[in-house]
Amino acid sequence: MAFSWNFSFLVDRSGKILDMQGNCVQAFGATGQEMIGRSLLPHIAPAERAHFHRFLAQLDSPSAIRQSVLHIRSGLRTDHACLLRASTGSEAGTYHFNLTDQPSDLAEAGKLADLSAPIPRVTVDELQQLIEMAITDLPDHQVPPLDLTVMEIGGLVDPSAIAAKDESLPGQLQQRIEQSLIVDAFDDVVCLIDEGIYALLHEESEVVAGIAADLRRSAQDLGIGDKLLDLKQRTVKLGVRPSPTRLRALVDEALLLRAGAGRNITTPTRRFAPLLWSGVAAALVMLVAVGLMFMA
């Protein structure tokens, strides 16, 4: 009798398995109890993992997409097309997934990669998980040097000036901006950190100036100039394979661009500027005191 992919999962927002039913040993080489606490992501075909994150992120929306074809990777590292049906769990932030491999259902369902699911809102921890998933699947020699860039679109942080021209413009601009960023993203890792603030994982060869130029062109197509767009960016080098601790530090460093009072960019130099000026002032006082001593 042929093996049937028929599983029920309970997962949280990060994809961690909270409960699981089905013939797990034959499919994944582990019992359902052993699967609890693990992430579902390693068992999804690599090309669909970023899309799966976006799928998870939109499940709380009333208009959420709840059905799609998903390719599950078995313990033998072969991918199997399954129909994914999702529903909200009994506790906030949990979701029920049913997976089946019925050919008649698969024929009528779309694929995760085809879904226009929104860019997810994420915490710093979730952003780090996204980046880790993007870079840990490839063998060492295939992992390109990566950069993490935070783009702040001031016109979307405070859309009132753009909306004054046309109430529909902020929404149109957001859609254009996100479409442009996805094109330049590595493994679709673009995260909406806050209103108008995006974190973009991209290859080092994708020069940030080029990405910024693409965003400006998208805005200009809508009649929005540079002043209204109010684009700022900050980039940090991730290196080939940063350790989890180093990766967290780099993500935190990139996120210093997040909106603050007046949307100023908070860099380490600005953060330590008071200490720097205090040191300079103290040095000047000492020089004056020494000079007066010699004059006396």
Angstrom distance (rounded) from CA 98 to CA 118: 22
Q: In the prediction, which pLDDT does 254 show?
A: 86
DSSP 8-state code for residue 144: P
Whether the Cβ atoms of residue 143 and residue 240 lie closer than 8 Å to each other: yes
Whether the Cβ atoms of residue 155 and residue 223 lie closer than 8 Å to each other: no
Homologous superfamily of the 7-114 domain (CATH): PAS domain (3.30.450.20)
Q: In the prediction, which pLDDT does 281 show?
A: 58
Q: In the prediction, which pLDDT does 151 show?
A: 93
Per-residue pLDDT of the chain (296 residues; tens, 9 = 90+): 456 788 899 999 888 999 998 888 878 888 889 999 988 888 888 778 877 887 887 888 888 889 989 888 876 667 888 999 999 988 988 999 999 888 777 877 888 877 777 787 778 888 888 888 777 766 667 777 889 999 999 999 999 999 998 999 999 999 899 888 988 888 778 888 889 999 999 988 878 889 999 999 999 999 999 999 999 999 998 887 788 888 888 888 888 765 443 333 333 333 344 444 455 556 565 666 666 666 66
Name the token pair of 292. 């007066």
All structural domains of the chain with their residue ranges: 7-114, 124-265
Q: In the prediction, which pLDDT does 282 show?
A: 60
Angstrom distance (rounded) from CA 57 to CA 175: 17
Report DSSP letters for 236-264, one per residue. EEEESS--HHHHHHHHHHHGGGS--GGG-
Q: In the prediction, which pLDDT does 216 show?
A: 95
Q: In the prediction, which pLDDT does 288 show?
A: 60
CATH of domain 124-265: 3.30.70.270
